[in-house]
Structure 1
Amino acid sequence: MKLFITGIGTEIGKTVCSAVLVQYFKADYWKPVQSGDLHYTDSHKLEAWTDSTKCYPETCRLKLAASPHQSARAENVQINLDDFQLPETDRPLIVEGAGGLMVPLSDNSFMIDLIEKLNLPAGLVVRDYLGCINHSLLSIMALRQRNIKLEYLILNGSFPEDTERVICGFIGKETKIIRIPEVESTDKKYIKAAAKQLTITKL
């Protein structure tokens, strides 16, 4: 099992959800692009939050906490899709993107292009906020347009019934739904508890 974790936006819990999934699937972890926070990267967090996780080195490590294309430009480097190669592992692998599908890696390549290049199915993280239905449906449409399989719709936290019904009603029957409970704290104890409470269902 190899899965690319993306989201409907920024700061919706992709890293926490990735940690819960790493714990649940007993998976390795890879963050292809890290923009900013090099002193405490998402890989560092996964190592702290989960049991015996192997984290593969980032392909791009950028100092500025901004969109990858802006961070790369600030360092006078170019992000090239050909530079990215999946780590070789016999274990399950969780790959975590930066931001949403249309986050630019350069002026003419986007996160969705990286998913396509790596030839991975996607797990789309959704969190409840005003506008999440619109962002969710647009993200699902973008994946569908590129023929990228949406393996999992990942519902992070609780949702109003009307919101969940519309979002879940838009996915295909091949997509499974993962429900991750609200994680009280980014502590290994709470990540492990969330992994135990995680549920996977189909429509």
Structure 2
Amino acid sequence: MNKIFITGIGTGVGKTLISAIVTKALEADYWKPIQAGYEEGTDSEYVRHALTDTTSVIHPEVYKLKMPASPHIAAREEGITISIQKICEQVPPISRNLIIEGAGGLLVPLNGSEFVADLVKALGAGVILVSRNYLGSINHSLLTARVCREMNLPVLGWIFNDQYLHYEEEIVHWSNYPLIASVPYTKAADGKFIEAQAATLQKRLKGFL
């Protein structure tokens, strides 16, 4: 069984949507160990409601922080310190693939000295990189790829979210990480959309594991 960490080139690039699609495609379990901000609902709640007709288990967060901010700031507001060791000690029992959703990008701080990338390394998870098309996304994508390479993180490949045109091919070429899939833009990221994308992605995704 595999641990697969879904990270993005920044905040708001569609990590949760892609996590739901990958979870459905692999009939996997889902876990977001750190949630910062939950006034409008948590990412775990979104995935739970979006996945229909599934046996996937949505595991509870280790840290559920009220402030929608960088995790180290949100934790500090509540008088706690995020511990990577604690998260690793609470990895859910793995009887099938486990999709782990990160918080923001790889260099989002978790505490005074550790970042999301350090959590990925500690968990020993394979990485799926999520990129979305916007002004600056090439730079953010390639910086993310460089961090992965410098930290020797095992990257499975890219999933692009939005409409990329030649951006997609260029990011794949310059990063030297393969294309797993492209998920088109939608205004209705609901269960039907997720199920359709999962069906399209399933066979190809399994080839990367």
Shorter-chain TM-score tier: over 0.9
TM-score, normalised relative to structure 2:
0.89
What's 1:44 paired with? Answer: 45
Distance in 1 between residues matched to 2:131 and 2:108, nearest whole Å: 16
Kept in 2: contact 1:5–1:18 (CA 8 A): yes
Higher helix fraction: Structure 1 or Structure 2? 2
Q: 1:128 to 1:176 in 2, by over 3 A?
A: closer
Post-superposition offset of 1:39 = 6.3
Kept in 1: contact 2:172–2:179 (CA 8 A): no
For 1:136-147, what aligned pairs fall within 5 Å after superposition? Answer: 136-147=141-152
CA deviation map 1:42-101 (0-9, x unaligned): 111111001333111111111111110000010010111110122112111110000000
Post-superposition offset of 1:158 = 1.6
**RMSD between aligned residues:** 1.8
- Amino acid paired to 2:108: V
**Any gaps of 5 or more consecutive residues in structure 1?**
none
What's 1:55 paired with? Answer: 58
Kept in 2: contact 1:180–1:197 (CA 8 A): no
Between the two proteins, the alignment pairs up a number of residues equal to 200
What's 1:22 paired with? Answer: 23
What's 2:175 paired with? Answer: 171
- Amino acid paired to 2:65: L
Distance in 1 between residues matched to 2:183 and 2:144, nearest whole Å: 19
What's 2:184 paired with? Answer: 181
What's 1:80 paired with? Answer: 83
Higher strand fraction: Structure 1 or Structure 2? 1
Kept in 2: contact 1:38–1:61 (CA 8 A): no
SS at match of 2:103: strand
Distance in 1 between residues matched to 2:97 and 2:132, nearest whole Å: 25
CA deviation map 1:167-203 (0-9, x unaligned): 0102336x4522222234132112112222337489x
Kept in 2: contact 1:18–1:96 (CA 8 A): yes
SS at match of 1:105: coil
Kept in 2: contact 1:125–1:154 (CA 8 A): yes
What's 1:94 paired with? Answer: 99
Distance in 1 between residues matched to 2:135 and 2:86, nearest whole Å: 37
What's 2:156 paired with? Answer: 151
What's 2:121 paired with? Answer: 116
Kept in 2: contact 1:180–1:198 (CA 8 A): no
Distance in 2 between residues matched to 1:168 and 1:179, nearest whole Å: 12
Identity among equivalent pairs (%) = 40
Distance in 1 between residues matched to 2:105 and 2:153, nearest whole Å: 15
Kept in 1: contact 2:142–2:174 (CA 8 A): yes
Q: Which runs of 4+ in 1 moved over 6 A?
A: none
What's 1:194 paired with? Answer: 197
- Amino acid paired to 2:44: S
